[in-house]
Amino acid sequence: MTTVLLTGFEPFGGDPTNPSGDAVREMSARWSGPEDLVTTVLPVTFAGAAERLRELVAEHRPDVVIATGLAEGRAAIGVERIAVNLIDARIPDNDGVQPVDVPSIEGAPTARFATLPVKEIARRLSDAGILAEVSHTAGTFVCNHVFFTALEVAASDSRAGFIHVPWSAEHAPTSEVATLPLADIVRALEIAVRTSLDLTEDASIPTGALH
Among 139, 161, 162, 163, binds ligand PCA (CB under 6 A): 139
CB 167 within 8 A of CB 72: yes
State the catalytic residues. 80, 143, 164
Report the residue number, 12 or 148, with the smaller CB distance to ligand PCA: 12
CB 118 within 8 A of CB 80: yes
Among 12, 148, 162, 167, binds ligand PCA (CB under 6 A): 12
| Residue 143 within binding range of ligand PCA, rule CB under 6 A | yes
For residue 66, the minimal CB distance to ligand PCA (Å) is 14
Q: What is the per-residue DSSP string for 100-143?
A: EEE-SSTTS-SEEE--S-HHHHHHHHHHTT--EEEES---SSHH
Report the residue number, 21 or 120, with the smaller CB distance to ligand PCA: 21
Report the residue number, 141 or 148, with the smaller CB distance to ligand PCA: 141
Residues numbered 45 to 84 that lie near ligand PCA (CB under 6 A) are 69-71
Instruction: Describe the strand order of the beta sheet including 159-165 as a list of residue ranges.
Output: 36-42, 3-9, 64-70, 159-165, 77-80, 132-135
Written as one letter, the residue type at 70 is L
Q: Residues in the site for ligand PCA, rule: CB under 6 A?
A: 9, 12, 18, 20, 44, 69-71, 139, 141-143
